[in-house]
Amino acid sequence: MIDELMSNPDPKARIGKHFLFDIQTIPDYRGKIGVLESNKTVPFEIKRTYYLYDVPSEAERGAHAHKRLEQVIIALSGSFKIIIDDGKNTYSYNLRSPSVGLYMGPHLWRDIKDFSSNSVALVLASMHYSEDDYIRSYDDFRTVF
């Protein structure tokens, strides 16, 4: 899927796309290294990284979509659930391994919940932070379809 995205120059091909992928891992007797590289194993140039931590188990995050932002989300520690709505269907992903990434293209409504204690969610993002890129009303999100 990543190769497919990288070989397609049309940004519209990324709208509503989401999939899990295995992160390149270098193991030896000392432990493991997980590696992610812009425009190679991550299908965009990484402009920003941020992480969610100290999230109470009852907290619900997300509840928005993005107009242009692409992201990869990784459960570096612990686990959480992401529910994705592409305007037609909903999909639920349980992220619980630091060796798996979830790619999310633009125009996906996401809810993130069920954070385990000490969970850390790392997010790689294709754009600097911009509130203008957010769609925070579900009704507005739905009007696109």
Backbone φ and ψ of 140, nearest 5°: -65, -40
Cβ nearer to ligand TYD, comparing 88 with 128: 128
Per CB under 6 A, contacts with ligand TYD among 109-128 are none
Helix (H, G, I), strand (E, B) or coil at 137: coil
Q: Could you give the C-alpha distances from 27 to 24, 31, 101, in angstroms and in order?
A: 10, 6, 17
Binder among 2, 6, 19, 62 for ligand TYD (CB under 6 A) = 62
The window from 1-9, 28-36, 56-64, 84-92 that contacts ligand TYD (CB under 6 A) reads 56-64
Length of the chain: 145
Footprint of ligand TYD (CB under 6 A): 48, 50, 52, 61-62, 64, 129
